[in-house]
Amino acid sequence: MKFHSTLPALFAATATATYMCPVSPSSADAATISFAMSVQNLLSTYYAAIPINATFFSTLPAQPTTDFLANTMGLAVQAKLGVDALQQLATSASVQPPMCSYSFPPVTDAQSHLMNAYVLEATMCGTFIGLADYVQSPQAAFLMARLAAEHGIHASYIGSYMQSVVFPTNSTMLTPAFTPEMVSMTGMGVGYLGAYLNNCVMPPAAPCGGKANIGPLGVTLTGQWSMNVMNGSGTGSGAGGGAATGTGGTMSPTTSPVAFTGGAGNMWKGMGGAVAAAGLTAVYMM
């Protein structure tokens, strides 16, 4: 049997491309962890600011089949657990928690509260998907992925009350992912938190000086990062990747910011639309 003559060289190149996983999150992860804490704190603080009870949910136009009072109280608990998890990660990385003054959309009744919760949870899901690529340590990437799944489950639960079809059969995209740059922008609907974060923290720089265009199913890499990888001379990023190199760069989402898990939008089951971004304010200092 004959082997291709280039195989020994390929094996040799692979053997030298080693990566040592850091014991704890590195200083390079600090900006991403700080940003993650600011958005998770936003959600937890919002839930804590809304006094809910059985009477509050009795005003809903259509009563849910599940116990919304117990479940929404549980959402607040899960949001706080996310804060606790990020605090533990920040401590291991010697990251100082951000001090933020948040703004929130108005809450006039149970319907507006659930609308706000849906937009925030869906945005958090896409945010943490994006943040998973902005960290180098496996511990940090694991938590970003876990929180993304957590918020996706929450948004889907709320969305199932808002819409009769949450996962349409004609969907052509996976759950959208958002970059910190987009999340920091001011806009309406899922994908934007700038109106609420009030410039609390700066979004972390994109890894390796490259640029990623997030599409319906995957991501297209351009710039320094992808060129270096193709040439075999660069270093990767994210969990299991190498040290980040280069400066600047952004990741640009190409998916619709108001779509989530197959297209759940911002309209209730025949009961009005999105809530305007104004109203409650709060200060949260960890």
Domain ranges of the chain: 27-202+257-285
pLDDT of residue 5: 53
pLDDT of residue 162: 77
pLDDT of residue 205: 81
Q: Does residue 159 have a pLDDT over 60?
A: yes
Single-letter amino acid, residue 98:
P
Q: How many CB atoms lie within 10 A of CB 143?
A: 23
Residue percentage of the chain with pLDDT more than 90: 34
pTM: 0.74
Burial class (CB in 10 A: 0-12, 13-18, 19+), 103: middle
Minimum mean pLDDT range among 2-16, 51-65, 186-200, 266-280: 266-280
Summary mean pLDDT of the chain = 74
Single-letter amino acid, residue 218:
G
Q: Please answer whether residues 213 and 130 qualify as being in contact, where contact means their C-beta atoms are separated by less than 8 angstroms.
A: no
Q: Quote the tokens at residue 27.
A: 């200083």
Single-letter amino acid, residue 139:
Q
Residues 252, 259: Cα–Cα separation, whole Å: 16
Q: Please answer whether residues 284 and 131 qualify as being in contact, where contact means their C-beta atoms are separated by less than 8 angstroms.
A: no
Residues 159, 153: Cα–Cα separation, whole Å: 10
How far apart, in Å, are the Cα atoms of 209 and each of 184, 214, 253?
19, 16, 17
pLDDT of residue 47: 95
Q: Quote the tokens at residue 143.
A: 């938590």
- How does residue 224 score in pLDDT terms, banded at 50, 70 and 90? low
Residue percentage of the chain with pLDDT more than 70: 64
Strand-pair partners of 212? 221, 251
Residues 284, 282: Cα–Cα separation, whole Å: 6
Q: Does residue 264 have a pLDDT over 90?
A: no
List helix spans (H) across 213-284: 224-231
How far apart, in Å, are the Cα atoms of 88 and each of 80, 96, 131?
13, 11, 17
Q: Does residue 203 have a pLDDT over 50?
A: yes
Encode pLDDT of 266-281 as tens digits: 333 433 333 333 334 3
Q: Which residue has the higher pLDDT, 148 or 138?
A: 148
Encode pLDDT of 104-134 as tens digits: 988 988 889 999 999 999 999 999 999 998 8
pLDDT of residue 4: 54
Q: Does residue 283 have a pLDDT over 60?
A: no
pLDDT of residue 212: 65
CB within 8 Å of 274: residues ≥ 6 apart: 115, 119, 188, 189, 266, 267
- How does residue 24 score in pLDDT terms, banded at 50, 70 and 90? low
Which SS3 state, helix, strand or coil, does residue 102 take?
Answer: strand
Single-letter amino acid, residue 195:
A
Burial class (CB in 10 A: 0-12, 13-18, 19+), 141: buried
Residues 103, 199: Cα–Cα separation, whole Å: 11
Q: Which residue has the higher pLDDT, 62 or 126?
A: 126
Q: Which residue has the higher pLDDT, 224 or 131?
A: 131
Q: Which residue has the higher pLDDT, 108 or 260?
A: 108
Could you tell me the CATH superfamily of domain 27-202+257-285? Answer: Ferritin, core subunit, four-helix bundle (1.20.1260.10)
Q: Which of 255, 232, 251, 230 is nearest to 175 (CA)?
A: 255
